[in-house]
Amino acid sequence: MSAQGGAPSPGPRSGSMGPGVNGNGMAMPSQQPLPGNPVHSAPTPGPSAPPSGAMSQQNLNQIVIDYLAKKGYSRTEAMLRMESANQEIDGRPLPQLGEDSRPKTRQGFDLLKNWVEENLDLYKPELRRVLWPLFVYSFFNMVTSFYPQDAKSFFETNKNMFLPEHTDDVRHFEPISLPEHLQDNSVAKLYRNNKYRVVLSNPAYTNLLQFLESKDKEGGSVMNAILSSFCSVKTLDRAADDRFSFAAMLNQIGADQTFPAEDEGIPGHHPGSAYTGDNPAMAGTLPRLKLGRLPMEQLLEEDVRAELAEEDAKQPPLAGRNTLIQEFDQMIKNEDDDEAPSRADIPFPPSTARDVQIEVKKVMEHRDRFEIKARTGGVGPGLSVCMFTFHNTYDGVTCMDFSDDSQIVAVGFQQSYIRIWSLDGTNIQAADPEFDNSPPASSRRLIGHSGPVTAVAFQPCATAREGISEDDKVPTNARWLLSSSMDKTVRLWSLDSWQCMVVYKGHDRPVWDLSWGPFGHYFVSGGSDRTARLWVSDQIRQQRIFVGHDQDVDVVCFHPNSAYIFTASSDHTVRMWAVSTGNAVRMFTGHTGSITAMECSRDGKLLASADDQGCIILWDLAPGRLLKRMRGHGKGGIWSVSWSVESTVLVSGGADGTVRVWDVAGSQETTQGGRILNESGTGTRLDAAANPSTSQTKKKKGKDVVVTADQISAFPTKKSPVYRVKFTNMNLVVAGGAYLP
Amino acid sequence: MSVWNPDNIRDVAESVGILNLNNDVTENLARDVEYRVAQVLEEALKCMRHCKRTVLTTQDIALALRNLDVEPLYGYDSTRPLKFGEASLGPGQPLFYVEDEEVDFEKLINAPLPKVPREVSFTAHWLAVEGVQPSIPQNPTAADSRNLELISKGPNANSTLAAISGTGDVAVKPLVKHVLSRELQLYFEKVCSAFLNETSEDYRTSGYSSLREDPGLHQLVPYFVQFIAEKVTHSLKNVFVLTQVMHMAEALVQNKSLYVDPYIASLVPSILTCLIGRQLGGPADLAESFALRDMAASLLSLIAKKYSHSSHMLKPRLVRSCLKTFLDPSKPFGAHYGAVIGLQSVGGSEVIRVLVIPNLHEYTKLLGDGLDDAARRPAAERVLGALVAVLGSLRSSQPFLTNGHTVTDDLRSRLVDKVGDIIASRIVEAGEVQLAHIILES
């Protein structure tokens, strides 16, 4: 509710949009209906605000008018209305309206833009960052004060300079032309209800203020007002922050696109911390994370140990190899330095024979894997990628998952069904011939959803062990499949009976993504209703709802110790939540596009998130900071990322039809100590002909691909977008795509 | 102004019975409609992204409308692209509509059933093996992926990574066919084949004239230079080819619109080969080979004249090469011939005076041997002729001073001392008194 809606009295102020008011259209600036209001005050003071002096004055007027109306003094009333219309609420006479009194937003902005471009190279990068919030709020001001045409032309002339970074926001703002839209638009609301945080170095900020004050009359005052009322400028000492160093400046000269600093942006958050309030005492604190491996259940560990000892006796390790027991000990003791969550926090059902087998198999695979050592002398590992290409899909594939044992693949289709193939082309075995009377085939369909399938996920599983007697054999294959759909449901399918077992209802908008917990049992889903929900697979109600994102939750994933989940949203943030408490513990900002894929590293220390601008960001979880930005993918979405077993290599695949391998260890620019490397190699433009000084708007979009130095290799496919890449436990990469001729 | 035409609003208003709608209201409503459309599109984009597509389809719009609790628009099929027809309401008032095919019922019934879409299936292949992409049909060729930006470049790039991943420099080396426009490629091929066409003189001359006169061939210069070098290296036995490529080189140098300076260094070796090569062509075509040497010499003189200003080492280098050949007794006479005329054409009379005349006395012995040998005689004759001719060139550079003297015995003996008996006798026979004096003076 806006102020004018809540206070009905003085006539011309509230009924401003009526067509009959002397025929003055809203485009005519001479008699503006909302004259004094827009620029300096926050645009939506709620009607329930405590009565201030201004408020009581207004109330008094209203009381008098009501009184006059009641008594029938209509002429006096009309006179009072007329006179009070020309007054500010607190009684001061309104400034005369005319061409001059129009807020000089546009002039101010242009002035500032030119000034920034002519400024010293040293300050330019940071000052440029100020332009975006000023642009947004100037535009809002023009819209709220009913200058739709001005607003539009202002937007059109200036939007290009922000397109590379703020594509989504620009697209959201573009259709706005009326104040009602501002109230309605979710992104605009975000900007209006929060202060935009900008980081400037001290000299740059003082420079800016001096300039604005000197140009007070030509529009500087308007800009100044915007800065003070809508932005919160954080000043930093130049020397203290290496972001402002000369080297960093030089790095940026070549790159035509800069990226927002971590602490810049709308939620005004404190880097890493999920706390978004203003309390400075809370600002710096980061909740302590327990990133260690979830300890194994005592009984399970004993069973696994016994089983491994038996295996060792049966098949002694090759010379130079660890025994399985030794390998197992190494695997569990690895992370002693980290605090681990206790099993009491996250209840699991008691372990079964299947769990034992899976754990044993994991140890065996871990020992026999293709080891990716830390890189030596700048040489990346040579990975092998097995690609599965789907044909005749007509762009209908929406999601894909490979089972952990690499036996089957599930593909979700836009036509609402899921299809499962065995990867080796053999017929899928019927687990229970009585229930299952369909003819043998190498694929099965799962039909039940009523909207495009948005995600499929196999239950964690392991390859069947060989050389086990028939009685001891426990099936370790994937028995359950989860799928989410735009029909707002999540479904659990049994891969024994090929039936839908459970429909999980809870989301009230389309469900965009889901992910199994690392040990099964739990899963998390995220959807268009801006929530992520944690479920236990044997209950039809969600156990936790994670609320806080400002936009759709696009991607979800689990931490490998099952104690945390990550959610990524269209608001360009990634949040980390504790499963046991349901609280947000970290928040990461820095993406400039919608996040399309995310995975936590297997050692639990890093998170990789990828967006549709072709950018992959690595986050360091414990300090909550951005580790580096890796670019190389074309625009259009990176559909999947996956970590190697050692967490030293990341592989990604996306809409540009390439599978790319990335080096996780920091590139040569890593700085030691507190502040971890802000931007990895700024990358270099590939088309040498392009002159960096020409404006970036003229360049073709497709040419703007930058490949950062930490890409180890890129493998193009034949016109096949890659929907899924996955490292197996043995460090082989499995990729799935669809050939779209 | 909004993109959405306010007239549409008025139409809708009239259809529900509101006849006179205020202008402001329509405009306002138009803006609102526009905003709502954008909202739907935004939602549709979301659906597109989550269906992992990069093309927005009508299906996405339908899903978006459903998500926004609006009844979807029916009748739009996403399997085939929408076709819009255009009709005209009047001048400058086009009306677009979705074209709906008229289907004859009879035909529809009798038509064979459409093809059933093929079953979704998959194939597996190795996209990479130990970091290297195998070149199998399932993987794109280097040419296919050339325009993709695959490898990090620039100062930060790690060259080892590129080399290891098997997509090092090999892939980025530009190939002729891909840098040049199709027309230029075609032109290049045509001209090359025309030049080497043995049967048709017309083709050769038109190719020559085109290369000599046509502007806009600059992109091709390196390829022509390369072509020349290649032909010279591989066709030493074929005088025809060598002559033709010399013509080609000449045309390149003569073309006013080309900037050949940077390529002279790579052009000269080929020409020198044609000038002082040991053996050009087979033993049968002696005359042609000497003609070729003459031609190469004149070309060299042209180049020396034209480009010595841009490369001051050009002349000395040419002269040195020629002189070295001239003074090498193991070289055949053909090479000596080329060297002599080369020296003359590059350096003119000054070089002859300073470099050739002092050596003539020694050279006469070699020449004498050659003249005695029946097999080498024709070539030796040519060298002799060339030597006399270059000596003769000295004459023109000196003013004509004396007249009417015959060659005295004294003069003759001095001349023999200076240039050897064979040449001396030739000069005396020709009665070139002035020349003899000039030679003696030098």
- C-alpha pair distances (Å), A458 with each of A372, A483, A494, A505, A734: 26, 9, 10, 19, 15
CA B197, B203, B209, B210 dihedral sign is negative
The residue among B244 and A118 whose pLDDT is bigger is B244
Note whether B35 contacts A177, CB cutoff 8 Å: yes
Burial of residue A380 (number of CB atoms within 10 Å: 0-12, 13-18, 19+)? buried
Three-state secondary structure along A140-207?
Answer: HHHHHCCCHHHHHHHHHHHHHHHHHHHHHHHHHHCCCCCHHHHHHCHHHHHHHHCCEEEEEEHHHHHH
Taking the CA atoms of A394, A396, A399 and A402 in sequence, report the sign of the dihedral they define: negative
Region A694-707: what's the mean pLDDT? 45
Find, in chain A, the residue whose alpha carbon is nearest to that of B157: A709
**pLDDT number for residue A696:** 35
Res. B390: pLDDT tops 90: no
Provide mean pLDDT across the span A546-563.
92
| CA distances for B258 relative to A26, B181, B225, B262, B307, angstroms | 64, 18, 13, 11, 13
Question: Which DSSP category does B166 fall into?
Answer: T
B32-45 residue pLDDT tens:
888 899 999 999 99
* Most trustworthy range by pLDDT among A7-16, A71-80, A428-437, A597-606: A597-606
Smallest Cα–Cα separation from A517: which of A473, A455, A466, A460? A460
* Segment A537-552 mean pLDDT: 90
Walk across the sheet containing A542-547 and list its strands: A511-516, A522-527, A531-536, A542-547
Q: A48: pLDDT confidence band, cut at 50, 70 and 90? A: very low
Least confident of A264-268, A441-445, A469-473, B235-239: A264-268
Which one is predicted more confidently, A156 or A251? A156
More confident residue, A264 or B84: B84
* Min distance B252 CA to chain A CA atoms (Å): 28
* Mean pLDDT of all residues in A333-340: 67
How far is Cα B298 from Cα A532, in angstroms, rounded to an integer?
A: 85
Give yes or no for residue A203 having a pLDDT over 70: yes
Q: What are phi and psi of B425, to 5 degrees?
A: -65, -40
Nearest by CB to residue B155, choosing from A528, A684, A712, is A684
Q: Is residue A289 part of a domain?
A: no
| Closest to A166 measured CA to CA, from A591, A573, A466, A495 | A591
Q: Does A147 touch chain B (CB under 8 A)?
A: no
Residue B159 has pLDDT above 50, yes or no: no
pLDDT of A482 = 95
Q: What is the pLDDT of residue A29?
A: 40
Instruction: For residue B154, list chain A residues with Cβ-Cβ distance below 8 A.
Output: 683-686
Residue A599 lies in domain: 384-467+475-665+705-738
Identify the weakest region by mean pLDDT among A282-296, A375-389, A685-699, B118-132. A685-699
Specify the CATH number for the domain of residue A110: 1.25.40.500
Distance CA A324, CA A396 (A): 44
pLDDT at A181 over 80: yes
Contact residues on chain B for A668, CB-CB shorter than 8 A: 156
A396-409 average pLDDT score = 92
pLDDT tens across A243-266, in order?
A: 555 555 544 544 445 566 666 666
What pLDDT does B171 receive? 41
Average pLDDT (A296-309) is 88
Going by the DSSP 8-state scheme, the letter that residue B352 receives in this structure is: I
Shortest CA distance from A569: residue in chain B: B46
Q: Which two tokens stand for residue A56?
A: 């009581």
Give domain status of residue A88, yes or no. no
Residues of B in contact with A149 (CB under 8 A): 1
User: Which H or E run includes A522?
Assistant: strand A522-527
A713 → closest Cβ in B54, B131, B144: B131
Interface probe with A: pick from B4, B31, B60, B120, most Cβ of A within 10 Å: B120
Taking every pair of Cα atoms in chain B, the longest distance, rounded to a whole number of angstroms, is 131
The most distant pair of C-alpha atoms in chain A lies apart, rounded to whole Å, by 108
Give the phi and the psi of residue A525 in degrees, each rounded to 5.
-135, 150
Of B142-151, B183-192, B303-312, the poorest mean pLDDT is in: B142-151
CA-closest candidate to residue A692, choices A439, A683, A528, B62: A683
Question: Is the Cβ–Cβ distance between B299 and B341 less than 8 Å?
Answer: no
* Closest Cβ–Cβ partner in B1, B47, B127 for A715: B127
Instruction: Concatenate the DSSP letters of all residues of B325-337 into one string.
Output: HHT-TTS-HHHHH
pLDDT category of residue B89 using cuts at 50, 70 and 90: confident
Q: Residue B341 — pLDDT band, cuts 50, 70, 90?
A: confident
Distance CA B245, CA A565 (A): 73
Q: Which of A272-286, A645-659, A716-730, B216-230 has the lowest mean pLDDT?
A: A272-286
d(CA A89, CA A105): 24
Distance of CA B156 to the CA centre of its chain: 32
Residues facing A662 on adjacent strands = A650, A711
Give the tens place of pLDDT for each residue, B173-198. Answer: 444 445 677 788 888 888 888 888 88
Strand order in the sheet with A397-402: A397-402, A408-413, A417-422, A443-447
Q: Choose the closest CB to B161 out of A378, A452, A636.
A: A378
Residues of A in contact with B167 (CB under 8 A): 713-714
Give percent above pLDDT 90 in chain B: 4
> B interface mutation test: which of A21, A177, A631 has the most B CBs within 10 A?
A177
CA distance B13 to chain A (A): 16
Residues 6+ apart with CB under 8 A from A209: A224
Q: What are phi and psi of A492, to 5 degrees?
A: -110, 125
Q: Which residues of B touch A682 (CB under 8 A)?
A: 156
Model pLDDT, residue B149 = 57
Search chain A and give the residue with CA nearest B117: A392
The residues pairing with A526 across neighbouring beta strands, listed in sequence order, are: A513, A532
At residue A596, the pLDDT reads: 93
pLDDT of residue A11: 36
Band (pLDDT 50/70/90 cuts) for residue A654 is very high
pLDDT at A90 over 60: no
Position A636 scores a pLDDT of 82
- Total number of domains in chain A: 2
Residue A243 has a pLDDT of 55
Distance CA A145, CA A26 (A): 9
- Percent of chain A at pLDDT exceeding 90: 23
Chain B residue nearest residue A26, CA to CA:
B24
Checking if the pLDDT of A230 tops 50, the result is: yes
Pick A390's closest partner by Cβ from B52, B120, B155. Answer: B120
Rounded to an integer, the average pLDDT of B329-346 is 85
Q: How confident is the model at residue A702 (pLDDT cuts 50, 70, 90)?
A: very low
Asked if B130 lies within 8 A of A384 by C-beta distance, the reply is: yes
- Report chain B residues whose CB lies below 8 A from the CB of A717: 127, 139-140
Q: For chain B, say whether A722 makes contact (Cβ under 8 Å).
A: no
Taking CA atoms, A508 is separated from A485, A511, A529, A537, in Å, by 12, 8, 6, 19
CATH match for B1-76 among 1.10.10.60, 1.10.20.10, 3.40.640.10, 3.20.20.70: 1.10.20.10
Phi, psi values for residue A459, rounded to 5°? -60, 145
Sole residue written with tokens 């009359």: A217
Q: What pLDDT score does A434 carry? A: 67
**Which of A582, A610, A614, A625 is closest to A683 using CA atoms?**
A614
Q: How confident is the model at residue A721, as a pLDDT?
A: 93
Averaged over A613-619, what is the pLDDT?
Answer: 90
More confident residue, B271 or A708: B271
pLDDT at A122 (0 to 100) = 67
B262 — pLDDT class (breaks 50, 70, 90): confident
In this prediction, residue A402 carries a pLDDT of 94
Residue A684: pLDDT band with limits 50, 70, 90: very low
Q: Taking CA atoms, what residue in B is nearest to A394?
A: B79
Instruction: Using the structure block, give the residue that is written with the tokens 């802000």.
Output: A678
Contact criterion met (CB < 8 Å) for A178 and B158: no
Q: Nearest residue of A to residue B38 by CA position?
A: A175
pLDDT of res. A44: 40
Q: Which of A189, A219, A239 lies at the terminal end of a domain, its last residue?
A: A239
> What per-residue confidence (pLDDT) applies to B377?
81
Among A102-111, A603-612, A631-640, B146-155, the least confident range: B146-155
**Residues comprising chain B, all counted:** 442
> What pLDDT sits at residue A102?
65
Say if A276 falls within a structural domain: no
Q: What is the mean pLDDT of residues A726-741?
A: 91
Q: Do B131 and A380 touch (CB under 8 A)?
A: yes
For the cut 70, the answer to whether the pLDDT of residue A354 exceeds it is yes
List pLDDT tens digits, range B227-244. 998 888 888 888 888 888
pLDDT at A35 over 50: no
**CB burial readout A438-452, b (16+ within 10 A) else e:** eeeeebbebebbebb
A525 touches chain B (CB under 8 A): no
Q: Is A737 on the interface with B (CB under 8 A)?
A: no
Cβ–Cβ contact A512 with B under 8 A? yes
CB contact under 8 A, B35 and A394: no
Which among A19, A711, A723 is the nearest to B25, CB-wise? A19
B131/A383 CB distance under 8 A: yes
Residue indicated by tokens 């242009």: A110
- Residue A684 falls within a domain, yes or no? no
Q: Do B52 and A398 lie within an 8 Å CB cutoff? A: yes
Band (pLDDT 50/70/90 cuts) for residue B81 is low
What percent of chain A shows pLDDT beyond 70?
73
Residue A449, pLDDT score? 93
- Domain map (residue ranges) of chain B: 1-76
Q: Which pLDDT score is estimated for B334?
A: 85
Q: Give the span between the Cα atoms of B365 and A228, in whole angstroms.
A: 102
Residue A262: the pLDDT is: 61
Q: What DSSP character marks residue A40?
A: T
On chain B, the residues whose CB falls within 8 A of the CB of A721 are: 52, 54
C-alpha B305/C-alpha B320 separation (Å) is: 16
**Residue from A663, A715, A717 whose CB has the most chain B CBs within 10 Å, to mutate:** A715
Measured between beta carbons, the chain A residues lying within 8 angstroms of B40 are none
Q: What pLDDT is attached to residue B177?
A: 45
Q: Using CB atoms and an 8 Å cut-off, which of residues 393-432 of chain A contact chain B?
A: 393-395, 397-399, 409, 411, 414, 419, 421, 423
Q: Is residue A244 in a domain?
A: no
Which of A205, A239, A273 marks a domain boundary? A239
- Looking at every residue in chain A, the average pLDDT score rounds to 76
Residues of A in contact with B67 (CB under 8 A): 486, 509-510, 528
Residue of A256, A421, A554, A713 to mutate for B, most B C-beta atoms under 10 A? A713
- Of A192, A218, A239, the last residue of a domain is A239
- The CA-atom distances, in angstroms, between A718 and each of A52, A376, B245 are 68, 32, 43
Residues B361, B417 contacting (CB under 8 angstroms): yes
Mean pLDDT of A455-473: 81
Q: What pLDDT is attached to residue A697?
A: 33
Strand order in the sheet with A733-738: A722-727, A733-738, A385-391, B121-128
Q: Which residues in chain B have Cβ-Cβ distances shorter than 8 Å to A663?
A: 161
Regarding predicted confidence, which is higher, A271 or B201? B201
> Both tokens of residue A253?
């000269």
**What is the C-alpha to C-alpha distance for residues A355 and B222, in angstroms, rounded to an integer?**
69
Instruction: Please state whether the predicted TM-score (pTM) of the whole model is above 0.90.
Output: no
pLDDT level of residue A512 (50, 70, 90 thresholds): very high
How many angstroms separate the Cα of B100 from the Cα of each of A189, A437, A602, B58, B75? 43, 45, 55, 16, 10
Cβ–Cβ gap A658/B150 under 8 Å? yes
- Tell me how far apart the alpha carbons of residues B190 and A729 are, in angstroms, rounded to a whole number: 58
Cα(B349)–Cα(B294) distance, rounded to whole angstroms? Answer: 17
Asked if A655 lies within 8 A of B54 by C-beta distance, the reply is: yes
Q: A131: which residues sit within 8 A by CB, 6+ positions away? A: A109, A112, A113, A116, A161, A162
Reading the block at residue B58, the tokens are 């009508």
With a cut of 50, say whether residue A42 has pLDDT above it.
no
Nearest chain A residue to B80 by CA: give it. Answer: A394
Percentage helix, strand, coil for chain B under 3-state DSSP, each rounded to 5: 60, 5, 35
- Tell me which chain B residue has its CA closest to the CA of residue A707: B152
- The CA-based dihedral angle spanning residues A662, A668, A670, A673, taken in that order and rounded to the nearest 10 degrees: 140
Residue A511 touches partner B, C-beta closer than 8 Å: no
Identify the pLDDT of residue A424: 86
Instruction: Look at residues A62, A6, A13, A60 and name the one whose alpha carbon lies nearest to residue A35.
Output: A13
Residue of B149, B150, B159, B161 best to disrupt the A interface, most CBs of A under 10 A: B149
User: Is A427 among the domain residues?
Assistant: yes
